Structure 1
């Protein structure tokens, strides 16, 4: 992970630790106030009809968050697709395609009959969602309205799920589902750059449902009038290598392992591995959406000289191939468990189709 990203995460999670960090934090506060105020003004314009909002004829659920990265939106979107599929509903996923290099108007990651783009083109999350849900359409578009209009005219789904869209208010949605990390829901309470919030916490008044991720206790509560559902991320019992071969996670417990991740919160991934009984001989953290170029692969080779296996995230694995490494590289799929999930699905269904 870059020094700047690591410093910012420390500032958000642990606060300023010395005089220089306090001075920097104080210098950043005016910028945070400006950033947060800009978001408030923009929201005011949407609330009072000063900015145009597109309303689709297809029900829409937005999955988003208040903070930048790391709340686990991808497993939640995946869970929603699968749960609505059990009801016979076909979902389409629309993402901005962050960190992908696609420059066109609308990118079709999948039409439900095979993946049509690489992870480099569309971004890690859309590719992973298309891989996990081969029967669903997945589109990327910087202007998501364009993707929605195509879905309205072609292969019309029952539902559109907008990935990471809480702040993108140009599209009217039937449901706003907002995710908060249970350990630090609001970071240090400040918007970027002094904190990690995209908006002031008061923006949660727009949310229809709040979902706490990585909760230690599966208990339902309320927050300022909102019903809060709690969830935990859970690693699967099987690991999958880069050629698709599966082994029991228990077999990895006897091996010397290097874990690495290029996600928003690598430490949470490492902690999850240790909680299921893996002993990590080495750990490497990279910036979110890292591109695994030769320099990074060489760094992994050098660090992995004395280990038996590598373990990474499912999101990182879509950018890797087996021939990059001299030892096996595994990913362990991450799923989500939501308390009172049946009640949540009933409420979502009523909001979407009532």
Structure 2
């Protein structure tokens, strides 16, 4: 998440005013219930109020896994940004790799894609759903990044926020992600706009690495990064947090390949990444699973350079019990309402 320079923000101020007006008109329409559709399953939405990554995918995965363990049959509904020629988005491929038992409904019209699921789901986890208000939700969770909350910035396009700070009052719960500790200043800021303190505080924890080397996949500890010279390629919304995690594990970043969010990888790009990594003296390439599901289609272009993919999980610093109680209560209320 990056803000434009001050001079650009000034030039973009008229566009920001137009954008804010459109957002306000849209808010009033949905607040009145116009165009909101209920689907035949309880919906748990996970979203944010900023453009860029806040950790929606691992939180959605955590919720879906919890529902599976509880005997529910969740599905994940998502827009599927830049699905490309395969018709499968990088996030959908990531979900399919990590939780293959959970069906994925992908498409801009999430009402239609949910209805098209082969088997009726027991619940829906709506990925990036806070602004997708056409789908009625039974629990609305907003994520706030502890490092770059965006609460002190402007609205698009002069700043990163998709909505005004007051939109947080629409959420049922706010969960802080990428936190290293409970921050009372951020907690007070969230409570000021949300009306309640954050429900939970979480961090992104690397539990291991998956190594891909000459067609062989193996599990490796995070400690394998210690003292290792690596090149990086991150087509995600917040790559800085991943770089910090590499350095915290003792990895030495010798080259960073600039990649935009949801970037496509063809054979030539993969060859180029491998070549620049080797030229920089890297001993391995570190990328995300979201990137690997695309890079791996051209694994023959990587050569002898190992590719390391961190395994990312959500770890709770505070509020774990309350978080899952909110999930369970939502499913229970829906079951009671259904009779």
TM-score by length of 1: 0.84
* Superposition deviation, residue 79 in structure 1: 0.6
Where do 1:100-119 residues align within 5 Å?
100-101=83-84
1:320 aligns with 2:295: yes
Which is further off, 193-202 or 273-282?
A: 273-282
How far apart are residue 218 of structure 1 and its match?
A: 4.2
C-alpha contact 2:154 2:161 (8 A) present in aligned 1: yes
Q: What are the ranges of 5 or more consecutive residues in structure 1 without an aligned counterpart? A: 1-7, 103-119
Q: 1:38 aligns with which of 18, 22, 43?
A: 22
Q: Does 1:333 align with 2:311?
A: yes
SS at match of 1:240: strand
Q: 1:81 aligns with which of 64, 78, 81?
A: 64
1:285 aligns with 2:263: no
Q: Secondary structure at the match of 1:245?
A: strand
Maintained 8 Å contact 1:36/1:199: yes
Per-residue deviation, residues 153-198 of structure 1 (Å, max 9, x unmatched): x422211111111111111110111111112312552111101111
Which of 103, 110, 135 is the aligned partner of 1:171? 135
CA offset digits 1:311-330 (Å, max 9, x no partner): 11111111112312121111
User: Does the 8 A contact of 2:3 with 2:158 survive in 1?
Assistant: no
- String of CA shifts for 1:29-74, please: whole Å, max 9, x gaps: 111121122111111011123x221112310111111011210100
CA–CA separation in structure 1 for the residues paired with 2:18 and 2:320: 38
Query: For the residues of structure 1 that align with 2:80 and 2:224, how far apart are their CA atoms?
Result: 36
Answer yes or no: is the 8 Å Cα contact 1:314–1:334 preserved in 2: no
Alignment partner, residue 216 of structure 1: 180
Say if 1:235 and 1:173 are closer, same or farther in 2 by CA, change over 3 A. Answer: same
Could you list the per-position Cα deviations for residues 2-49 of structure 1 after superposition, in whole angstroms to 9, with x for gaps in the alignment?
xxxxxx8153xxxx4xxxx42x22110111121122111111011123
Tell me the equivalent position of 1:245: 218
Distance in 2, matches of 1:184 and 1:93, equals 26
Contact map agreement 1:240 1:331 (CA 8 A) in 2: yes
Question: Do the aligned residues in 2 keep the contact of 1:292 with 1:319 (CA within 8 Å)?
Answer: yes
The answer for the alignment partner of 1:9 in structure 2 is 2
In structure 2, the residue matched to 1:59 is: 42
**Equivalent residue, structure 1, for 2:201:** 230
Deviations 1:200-240 (A, max 9, x none): 11111110010111112147956132341111001123333
| Per-residue deviation, 1:101 | 3.3
Is the 8 Å Cα contact of residues 281 and 307 (structure 1) preserved in structure 2? yes
Unpaired runs of at least 5, structure 2: 334-339
TM-score, normalised to structure 2, is 0.88
Which secondary structure does the structure 2 equivalent of 1:35 belong to? helix
C-alpha distance in structure 1 between counterparts of 2:119 and 2:41, whole Å: 12
Which residue number in structure 1 is paired with residue 336 of structure 2? none
State the Cα distance separating 1:80 from its structure 2 match: 0.6
Over aligned residues, Cα RMSD in angstroms?
2.0
Segment drifting more, 217-226 vs 29-38: 217-226
**Structure 1 SS opposite 2:217:** coil
Describe the SS at the equivalent of 2:153.
Answer: coil
Q: Secondary structure at the match of 1:233?
A: strand
Aligned partners of 1:27, 1:231: CA distance in 2, in Å? 37
State the SS of the aligned residue for 1:121.
Answer: coil
Aligned equivalents of 1:203, 1:344: Cα separation in 2: 20
